[in-house]
Structure 1
């Protein structure tokens, strides 16, 4: 069993921090050249500074133009894209009646249409080379949407359907498409949630409390999530497609 990505080229959206950056490090450590895409140029530069074989790409993938520019820049820098990780997104939740049309559109543009557009751009090259790996990063709400979980749970559920459709079409072409569903993983998103929380506990105390509701008794680590992504895009994942794997310590009620 090999976890080598020597000669492979990966594009990761939302790649300048959190889970995206952890995956970029895992892929680069296995020998891949990696393009990390994000909107903020400062965070991109910081992330790429210590990342081997990295190409930073500044783009807003919530727009069709941004997706086109991101893919063109990554393809030019790497010479092609063998692995695509659709990771860009935020966790946006509100009571249903409070969600405006603009809120719905923004969420779908970033979490669903970005994946559609970038996969459509990467697909022909993957098909021509008879090798492609696509990971759609969703969350456990895609399988078990909670009350008050819109719009995120809805856009992520659509991403789950997209994953299955693409897996069926990609299998004869050598393109594997899978989804990784995030539970509570220690990342910059949770750091921001803690900063916005009206309480005096330290982040470590707050994180420990949040982890007690998880069967494993703790929040996950970004490196653990990245290891699962690496397995899917390297040799252990060669016969895995159309799956949606919970990376959540047993939190989700749906397998």
Structure 2
């Protein structure tokens, strides 16, 4: 299977920690030049240095808020001028924001759409001219399973992520003729730093590992997913091996979601 990403430049938002960081490591191992965007400059520097030490790849970081359109435009222009353009885009910014509809303000809705949807749309607009001109590109939008199966109290995240899936399908159909592939990954329960936060907020008296084990019991596979399982799927979609996959939203959730 050809997972080689040599001579490809990959831009990953939310890449300094969690699943974005795991993806960056795997892309770097496969030979890609990796560009990370994240808000926390200190954590970003640490992530860049760690990936360099692990892989000897070309890795750089840019500290920015993805909702700042001017800053993102500057970064893409800078990266394109030095690396020839962005070949692989991973839109991975944004955490989980949940509440009851009656309690969510206009500002809360707007902030979630700005972070998770509009930032992805803007980045796609910026990188698409290069991808289309070279007739090769990969765009992967990281969402979650709530995009397909929303429940009570899951807004605004579930609504924003559902819009992200629709955007993925529309864009995939618009650029397929130029060999630009666009897919979404619907993430379920996968071990990451975010779960440590869930553990703290839960007030559970269990240790983190016991807490994760309990959470895993609800999953058909009986456990939470691993970050390397996520990054392997990302690498497939970014590579030549995934060259006939576009316009789809793939669950990586151990079978938990009732939606296919």
Query: TM-score, structure 2 length as denominator?
Result: 0.96
Q: How many residue pairs get matched? A: 255
Q: Which moved more, 1:224-233 or 1:68-77?
A: 68-77
Distance in 1, Cα, partners of 2:78 & 2:94: 20
Matched with 2:16 is 16
Q: Which moved more, 1:222-231 or 1:195-204?
A: 195-204
Does 2:236 match 1:231?
Answer: yes
Deviation string for 1:59-100 (max 9, x for gaps)?
100232232233234334533100000000110000111111
Distance in 2, Cα, partners of 1:163 & 1:69: 24
Secondary structure in 1 matching 2:65 = coil
Distance in 2, Cα, partners of 1:181 & 1:74: 28
Q: How does 1:116-127 map to 2 (within 5 A)?
A: 116-127=121-132
Matched with 1:112 is 117
Secondary structure in 1 matching 2:244 = coil
RMSD: 1.0
Inter-CA distance 153–176: structure 2 relative to 1 (3 Å threshold): same
Secondary structure in 2 matching 1:23 = helix
Q: Which moved more, 1:68-77 or 1:27-36?
A: 68-77
Distance in 2, Cα, partners of 1:42 & 1:73: 21
Secondary structure in 2 matching 1:172 = helix
Matched with 1:33 is 33
Matched with 1:101 is 106
Q: How does 1:45-194 map to 2 (within 5 A)?
A: 45-51=45-51, 52-194=57-199
Query: TM-score, structure 1 length as denominator?
Result: 0.98
Distance in 2, Cα, partners of 1:94 & 1:23: 29
Query: Structure 2: which 5+ residue stretches go unaligned?
Result: 52-56
Inter-CA distance 202–74: structure 2 relative to 1 (3 Å threshold): farther
CA contact (8 A) 1:57 1:74 kept: no
Does 2:2 match 1:2?
Answer: yes
Q: Which moved more, 1:115-124 or 1:142-151?
A: 142-151
Query: Structure 1: which 5+ residue stretches go unaligned?
Result: none
Secondary structure in 2 matching 1:217 = coil
Q: Which moved more, 1:57-66 or 1:144-153?
A: 57-66
Secondary structure in 2 matching 1:15 = coil
Deviation string for 1:194-245 (max 9, x for gaps)?
1222122111011000110000000001110010010011122101100100
CA contact (8 A) 1:44 1:58 kept: yes
